[in-house]
Amino acid sequence: MREASAIRAEAVRRLAERFGASAVLDAPTQIAPYRGDLMYRQEEAELCVFRPSSAEMLSEGLALLADLPILLVPRGGGSGLAGGATPGAGAASLVVSTERMRTLRRIDRDACLMVAEAGVVLAEAQAAAREAGLHLGLTHGGAGSATLGGSVATNAGGANVLRHGMARDQILGIEAVLADGTLIAGAAELWKDNTGYSLPQLLAGSEGTLAFVTAVTLKLRAPPLDRQAALFGLAGPAQALALLRLARDLLGDAVTAAELMSRSATDFAAGMGVAKVPLESAPGWLLLLEAERTSRFFDLAAGFDALLEAAFEEGLAGDGVFAQSEAQRLGLWSLREGVAEAMDLWRGPILRTDCAVPLGQVPRFVAGVDAHVAALGGGLRAAFFGHIGDGNIHVNVMPPAPGDALPGKAALSEAIESIALSLGGTVSAEHGIGLHKRAALRRMKPAAELALMGRIKSAFDPANRLNPGNIFGSCGDDAKGAPEPHKDAFRCSRP
Ligand SMILES: Cc1cc2nc3c(=O)[nH]c(=O)nc-3n(C[C@H](O)[C@H](O)[C@H](O)COP(=O)(O)OP(=O)(O)OC[C@H]3O[C@@H](n4cnc5c(N)ncnc54)[C@H](O)[C@@H]3O)c2cc1C
């Protein structure tokens, strides 16, 4: 068996010889940023970095290495929250970075689509769509550093999922390269294509385990002409769901976001000095509702007035504030963002979760988790916040002070996930599986479904070279291992 370091050196030699030294990074200082994502770093990995500038170059480079036992790790912006772009320990790894594949090939205004290479940063793609008079619905909190390839590979989706869906819902075509270098099609531009299995749909959410995404065709929409937002104080998640239903009745698909926050979450953020609730009362829960107008013939402001009136008349909200200007709208969002930011700033132990349940089960999920955490005692704080329109409520649990311990963190995480699963929910609504949620995935999925997923993986990547620890890791060949989350796992700058 050849040493991992010898295999890595051979890969560097072959790639540099064919494509020049700048296509491969090998020096310790150069490769340091590629040792992980925001969740995990792997200091033990024997890695080098390949930076192709086109799908063809990637295809040729992988074919050159086909006989080498080297793991292949697709990497975009490294902003993932599941350890997906983290190379394996011990084994030789080739991190394939899309940083030089940043061409936005075209925007078609009539067909309402964009074709772009995988390394284009999501925020850049959004800006380009805006300049072309259209709107890219794909967005999430990491848009300033995440790439299109990474966002599609993790099937990302943020606060506007209830209007635009997740990445999977926004893809028309994908160009991809298999682990052996086979280039699969161009990124199709068809809005209708009913020709058997859908490669784009399989690759969305595959977390770099099936193929390298090299380019995507994304749907574009009519741009929002303006947005309106209101913050409601209410008694609990059941009232929030009723208010969301009312908003949809009155405003239809114009509703873009419904963000729920518990008082415990906003109090925590206020305590960290990053948020202030702009209401006179102190409600137990807050709902931030936002809607947008894409037609100049639709009176969104009148619709929002009607919503506020009906919400109070029907007793769904006890208090509320309607943003009168763009600055006030952003101010309401800064409360929601402040909650997430406070968790990032907290220097003590913290448990983060990413469950979702069917919408109607949100009240039961929240009550179940609340009761479980309260029963543990020790002054633990459970902060609930997230996208109630998708049933995706993050529960973060912290001890009273940063210096206090958070005992039984793994068991608590499992207990919260079990509550979600008992209600028909999921252990990972948006961040994916990566290295982080592999055990939880095995608890969630029936063996037959896991086995089928494994067979799909084998069909794409029979030699199991692409991100072999991701998703499937501890189901069999745990080639990547799972290091401990690094200390600053969630510290990052927001776009
Ligand atoms: C502040 C912040 C807020 C966030 N909020 C949300 C949110 O609200 N909703 C949400 O869904 N997500 C959210 N995320 C996570 C987000 O999904 C990821 O950050 C993003 O999708 C990863 O993109 P990336 O280019 O950085 O990929 P990376 O981190 O580089 O990689 C992520 C995974 O995709 C694979 N991959 C990357 N590029 C390719 C490619 N070209 N082909 C094949 N596989 C590839 C990698 O192997 C890895 O498994 C947030 C992240 C941050 C930092």
Residue 365 has pLDDT above 90, yes or no: yes
Rounded to the nearest angstrom, the distance between the alpha carbon of 154 and the centre of ligand 1 is 6
Rounded to the nearest angstrom, the distance between the alpha carbon of 81 and the centre of ligand 1 is 7
pLDDT of residue 448: 97
- Topology of the domain covering 351-445: Alpha-Beta Plaits (3.30.70)
For 455-474, write each residue's pLDDT tens digit. 999 999 999 999 988 998 64
- Closest C-alpha to ligand 1, atom 4: 141
CATH top-level class of 105-219:
alpha beta
- Measured from the Cα of 122, ligand 1's closest atom is 25
Domain limits, the chain: 4-100, 105-219, 226-345, 351-445
Average pLDDT score over residue span 22-29: 97
- Measured from the Cα of 211, ligand 1's closest atom is 43
Residue 475 has pLDDT above 90, yes or no: no
pLDDT band at 491 (very low <50, low <70, confident <90, very high): very low
For 120-139, write each residue's pLDDT tens digit. 999 999 999 999 999 999 99
* Residue to probe by mutation, ligand 1, list 81, 100, 117, most atoms within 8 Å of CB: 81
Mean pLDDT (the chain) is 93
For residues 230 and 307, is the Cβ–Cβ distance under 8 A? yes
pLDDT of residue 280: 85
CATH top-level class of 226-345:
alpha beta
For 394-449, write each residue's pLDDT tens digit. 999 999 999 999 999 999 999 999 999 999 999 999 999 999 999 999 999 999 99
Rounded to the nearest angstrom, the distance between the alpha carbon of 395 and the centre of ligand 1 is 20
Residue ranges lining ligand 1, Cβ < 6 Å: 37-38, 73-81, 84-85, 98, 118, 140-142, 145-147, 149-151, 153-154, 156-158, 207-208, 212-213, 430-431, 434, 467, 470, 492, 494
- Measured from the Cα of 467, ligand 1's closest atom is 47
For 148-176, write each residue's pLDDT tens digit. 999 999 999 988 999 999 999 999 999 99
pLDDT of residue 1: 54
pLDDT band at 489 (very low <50, low <70, confident <90, very high): very low
Rounded to the nearest angstrom, the distance between the alpha carbon of 74 and the centre of ligand 1 is 11
- Closest C-alpha to ligand 1, atom 53: 142
**Greater pLDDT, 292 or 275:** 292
- Measured from the Cα of 119, ligand 1's closest atom is 41
* Residue to probe by mutation, ligand 1, list 62, 75, 256, most atoms within 8 Å of CB: 75
- Closest C-alpha to ligand 1, atom 36: 150
Rounded to the nearest angstrom, the distance between the alpha carbon of 166 and the centre of ligand 1 is 13
- Closest C-alpha to ligand 1, atom 12: 156
- Measured from the Cα of 145, ligand 1's closest atom is 26
- Topology of the domain covering 4-100: 3.30.43
Average pLDDT score over residue span 314-329: 94
For residues 83 and 39, is the Cβ–Cβ distance under 8 A? yes
Residue 492 has pLDDT above 70, yes or no: no
Average pLDDT score over residue span 192-218: 96
Rounded to the nearest angstrom, the distance between the alpha carbon of 156 and the centre of ligand 1 is 7
pLDDT band at 393 (very low <50, low <70, confident <90, very high): very high
Rounded to the nearest angstrom, the distance between the alpha carbon of 150 and the centre of ligand 1 is 5
Spell out the SS3 assignment of the chain. Answer: CCCHHHHHHHHHHHHHHHHCHHHEECCHHHHHHHCECCCCECCCCEEEEECCCCHHHHHHHHHHCCCCCCEEEEECCCCCCCCCCCCCCCCEEEEEECCCCCCEEEEECCCCEEEEECCCEHHHHHHHHHHCCCECCCCCCCCCCCEHHHHHHCCCCCCCHHHHCCHHHHEEEEEEECCCCCEECCCCCCCCCCCCCCHHHHHCCCCCCCCEEEEEEEECECCCCEEEEEEEEECCHHHHHHHHHHHHHHHHHHEEEEEEEEHHHHHHHHHCCCCCCCCCCCCCEEEEEEEEECCCCCCHHHHHHHHHHHHHHCCCCCEEEECCCHHHHHHHHHHHHHHHHHHHHCCCCCEECECECCHHHHHHHHHHHHHHHHHHCCCCEEEEEEEHHHCEEEEEEECCCCCCCCCCHHHHHHHHHHHHHHCCCECECCCCCCCCCHHHHHHHCCHHHHHHHHHHHHHHCCCCCECCCCCCHHHCCCCCCCCCCCCCCCCCCCC
For 172-203, write each residue's pLDDT tens digit. 999 999 999 999 987 899 999 999 999 999 99
- Closest C-alpha to ligand 1, atom 16: 80
- Closest C-alpha to ligand 1, atom 21: 151
Rounded to the nearest angstrom, the distance between the alpha carbon of 152 and the centre of ligand 1 is 8
